[in-house]
Amino acid sequence: MDQTLKETLKKKISNRETKVCIIGLGYVGLPNALDFARKGFSVLGIDIDKERVQKFNRGENYILGTDEKGELKKFVAAGKVSAQVDFSDLGQMDVIVICVPTSLSSNLAPDLQHIKNSVREIARRLRRGQLICLESTVYPGTSEEIVLPLLESSGLKAERDFYLCHSPERVDPGDGNYGTKQLSRIVGGIGPDSLEVGVFFYEQITEKIFPVSEIKIAELAKVYENTFRAVNIALVNELMLLCDQMKISVWETLDAAYTKPFGIMPFYPGPGVGGHCIPVDPHYLEWKAREYGFYTRFISIAGEINRKMPYYIREIILRALNSLGVVPARAKILLMGMAYKKDINDARESPAIALAELLLKDGMGICYHDPYIEAVEIFSQKFISVPLEEEVVSSSDLVVITTDHSVINYQWLIEKARKIVDTRNATKGLKDIEQKVVLI
Ligand SMILES: NC(=O)c1ccc[n+]([C@@H]2O[C@H](COP(=O)([O-])OP(=O)(O)OC[C@H]3O[C@@H](n4cnc5c(N)ncnc54)[C@H](O)[C@@H]3O)[C@@H](O)[C@H]2O)c1
C-alpha cells in the first residue's frame, strides 16, 4: 500500500488540481460533468458520438431538464469543460468516470460492449495514481470479473497502483426533485484504499455518501432498486388487468389504497415500461443469477407482464374503434407521446413505440405528437411529430394518450377529439371525460 500515492491524489482532489474525465456524455454523464464543473473541477468529456460532442462544445444542452440555467455554455466559455471523441488524453486524467450505456442483447443477456471498449481505452493509458469510477448499472461481479482484469492487463495493480470503485448513478430524468443534492451515493471499492479515495472524491459533490464493504454490494443495490420498481409496476399493471375484468376502477382503487401512510408505495399502471433502466437492469440480475443455478422468478414474471401491456392497450383501442364503428384497417390514430415517461425527451424502449408497432401491424394509420421527441423510427420508417393542431386531433378516429407530458392541454384535447384512450390517467378530473374518454 502506497500511502503517498493515495494522499497525493486526495490532495489534488481537494485542491481541485484534479482533471476529471467523464466517458459517455448522456443522461448520466452530462449532469455529472456539470456537477463536477460546478464544484470547481476541470472536466473533459469523451463520447464516441460526434454530434453530441459538437453540441457539448457549443454549450448546447441536449438532455431535457438537465441544464435549466444554461451553465454548460458558461463552463465551456470559461474553459472549465470540453469534450472530444478521442481517448488519447486519458493518461493525463486523475479521475475517470465511466457513464456508458449497458443494454441487453435480443435474448435478454447483458451487453457490456460499451464498458469493455471504454475500459480497454483506459487500460492502454493507465498510469499510477489514477482513480477509475464505474457509474453505469451492472450486474454484481462486473467490476471484479470484467473491469479489473482489463485494467490490470496494463501491468498495473489495483490498490497498489490505481484505484477502482463503483458508484451507481441513481438520477431520475425529468424529476427535478431528485438531483445530486437530494440523492445519496452508494460507493463500493475494489479494496479499502479504492473505497477511501472513491468516497473522498464523491464527497466533493455530495454530503450523502453510503460506503459499502464490497464493490458487489454497490452493484447489487442498484439493480435491486430497479428490480423493485419493475416488479411493483408489474404488480399494479396486473391489478389493472384484473380491474378491467371486474369492471372496477383501478385508479380510484389505488387512490384509496395509497391513503395508507405506511407499508405501501404509490405505483401506477400504464402502457408498459421504458427507458434505459427498468426494462433492462432486472435482466442483468436474472442473467447473473443463472450462473448460480438460481431463477429469479419475480423478475421474469414482471418482465413478462410489463412487456404485455402494449398488447392490452391495443385491445382497448380495438374495443374503442368498434364502439365508433371504425374498421381497424381504416382507422386513423393519433398517439400523444413517444417518450417513455412524462416530461423527458427519451424514447428508448418506449412502450409507445411497441404499441405503434402493433397498430401498424393491424394496418392502422398512425401519427404522433410529442413536444420533446422530434422523430422516431418504427419498422425502418421515419415518423415525425405532427403539430398539435385542431385539424390533426379532430380528423383522428382515436387519440391515445401514451405519455402524460405536463405541457399538454388535456381539456382542449377532450374538446377536439372524437374519442380518447387514456393510458396514463392524464384526464383525471377534467370535464366531459364520461362521454369522450376510455380510461384503462
Ligand atoms: N438514463 C437514466 O435515467 C439512468 C439513471 C441511472 C443510471 N443509468 C445508467 O447509466 C448508464 C448510462 O446511461 P445513460 O442513460 O446516460 O446512457 P446514454 O445513452 O444517454 O449515454 C451514454 C453515452 O455514452 C456514449 N458511449 C457509448 N459507448 C461509448 C464509449 N465506448 N466511449 C465513449 N462514449 C461512449 C454514447 O454515445 C452516449 O452519448 C447506463 O448503465 C444506465 O443504465 C441511467
pTM of the model: 0.93
With a 6 Å cutoff on the Cβ, whether 279 touches ligand 1 is no
* pLDDT computed for residue 174 by the predictor: 66
Comparison of pLDDT for 1 and 16, the residue scoring more? 16
Amino acid identity, position 254: L
Q: Which of 21, 165, 277, 367 is catalytic?
A: 277
pLDDT at 182: 78
* Strand-strand pairing, 365-369 and 332-336: parallel
277 labelled catalytic: yes
Structure confidence by residue, pLDDT tens digits, 215-262 = 999 999 999 999 999 999 999 999 999 999 999 999 999 999 999 999
Q: How far apart are the first and last CA of the chain?
A: 61
φ/ψ of residue 310, rounded to 5: -60, -30
Q: How many CB atoms lie within 10 A of CB 83?
A: 22
Q: What residues have CB less than 8 Å from 286, skipping those under 6 apart?
A: 108, 296, 299, 300, 303
Task: Return residue ranges of the chain for CATH 3.40.50.720.
Answer: 3-212, 233-439
Lowest mean pLDDT among 47-56, 177-186, 317-326, 362-371: 177-186
Q: Is 22 in the pocket of ligand 1 (CB under 6 A)?
A: no
Given a contact cutoff of 8 angstroms between Cβ atoms, the answer to whether 375 and 391 are in contact is no
* Least confident segment among 53-67, 113-127, 129-143: 53-67
Q: Is the pLDDT score of 207 beyond 90?
A: no
Query: Which helix (DSSP H) or strand (DSSP E) does residue 20 occupy?
Result: strand 19-23
Q: Whose CA is nearest to atom 37 of ligand 1?
A: 49
Quote the strand ranges of 224-342, DSSP E.
332-336
Distance CA 419, CA 408 (A): 17
Q: How confident is the model at residue 68 (pLDDT cuts 50, 70, 90)?
A: confident
Q: How many CB atoms lie within 10 A of CB 90?
A: 21
265 CB-near residues (< 8 Å, 6+ apart): 232
Query: Which protein residue's CA is at the shortest distance from atom 15 of ligand 1?
Result: 27
In whole angstroms, give the CA distance from residue 324 to residue 320.
6
pLDDT band (50, 70, 90) for residue 64? confident
Ligand 1 centre from 39 Cα, in Å? Answer: 22
Q: Which residue has the cell 473522498?
A: 200
Residue whose Cα lies nearest atom 21 of ligand 1: it is 26
pLDDT score, position 90: 97
- DSSP per position, 370-396: -TT--EEEETTEEEEPPP--HHHHHT-
Nearest-CA neighbor of 11 among 204, 210, 186?
Answer: 204
Instruction: Report the CATH superfamily, name and number, of domain 3-212.
Output: NAD(P)-binding Rossmann-like Domain (3.40.50.720)
CA distances from 306 to 149, 311, 414 (A): 36, 10, 28
Residues 276 and 349: beta-carbon distance below 8 Å: yes
Residue that has been written with the C-alpha cell 449497458 in this structure? 102
For residue range 261-270, list pLDDT tens digits in order: 999 999 999 9
Q: Where are the alpha helices (DSSP H) in 62-127?
A: 71-77, 113-125
CB of 99 within 6 A of ligand 1: the answer is: yes
The alpha carbon of 322 and the centre of ligand 1 are apart by a number of angstroms equal to 43
Architecture of the domain spanning 233-439 = 3-Layer(aba) Sandwich (3.40)
The helix/strand/coil state of 23 is: strand
Amino acid at 28: V
Contact 46, 23 (CB under 8 A): yes
118 lines ligand 1 (CB under 6 A): yes
**pLDDT at residue number 1:** 58
